[in-house]
């Protein structure tokens, strides 16, 4: 079955460490997205990519980085510059930008 796979489901990071969250899709979707979710704040867009080797900053890109070397993969790195990284991170994809998102099951990142 086609879908989006996020891994790991739970991730713990020490202060000052970089961590990478994985997002893989086999839906043949062109566009992929990363959102951050905090309680009571809904979803906030971190980065998005419309096509391989191209990506754009969203509303809260500071302290994050991404790559899009393959159509199927859109990993998110949370760098040490992100001062408050504890959150639930959601990856999504769509056939074209803005049409019918499919979401992964999320990664919960906690700073310890």
Q: Rounded to whole angstroms, how far apart are CA atoms 90 and 45?
A: 10
- In the complex, the residues that contact other proteins under the rule CB under 8 A are 4, 6, 33, 35, 40-43, 45, 48, 50, 58, 88, 90, 92, 96-106, 108
- Which C-beta is closer to other proteins: that of 13 or that of 44? 44
Strand order in the sheet with 76-78: 4-7, 19-25, 76-78, 64-66
- Which C-beta is closer to other proteins: that of 10 or that of 84? 10
Q: What are phi and psi of 46, to 5 degrees?
A: -95, -60
Q: Rounded to whole angstroms, how far apart are CA atoms 22 and 91?
A: 9
Q: How far is the CB of 112 from other proteins (least distance, A)?
A: 18
- Which C-beta is closer to other proteins: that of 50 or that of 80? 50
Q: How far is the CB of 86 from other proteins (least distance, A)?
A: 14
Q: How far is the CB of 111 from other proteins (least distance, A)?
A: 18
- Contact between residue 81 and residue 19 where contact means Cβ atoms under 8 Å apart: no
Q: Rounded to whole angstroms, how far apart are CA atoms 92 and 15?
A: 27
Q: How far is the CB of 16 from other proteins (least distance, A)?
A: 27
């Amino acid at each position: 079955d086609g879908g989006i796979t996020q891994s790991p489901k739970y991730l713990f990071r020490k202060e000052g460490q970089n961590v990478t969250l994985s997002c893989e899709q086999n839906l043949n979707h062109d566009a992929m997205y990363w959102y951050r979710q905090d309680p009571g704040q809904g979803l906030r867009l971190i980065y998005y990519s419309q096509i391989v080797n191209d990506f754009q900053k969203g509303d809260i890109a500071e302290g994050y980085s991404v790559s899009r070397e393959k159509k199927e993969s859109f990993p998110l790195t949370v760098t040490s510059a992100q001062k408050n990284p504890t959150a639930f991170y959601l990856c999504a994809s769509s056939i074209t930008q803005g049409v019918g998102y499919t979401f992964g099951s999320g990664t919960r990142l906690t700073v310890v």
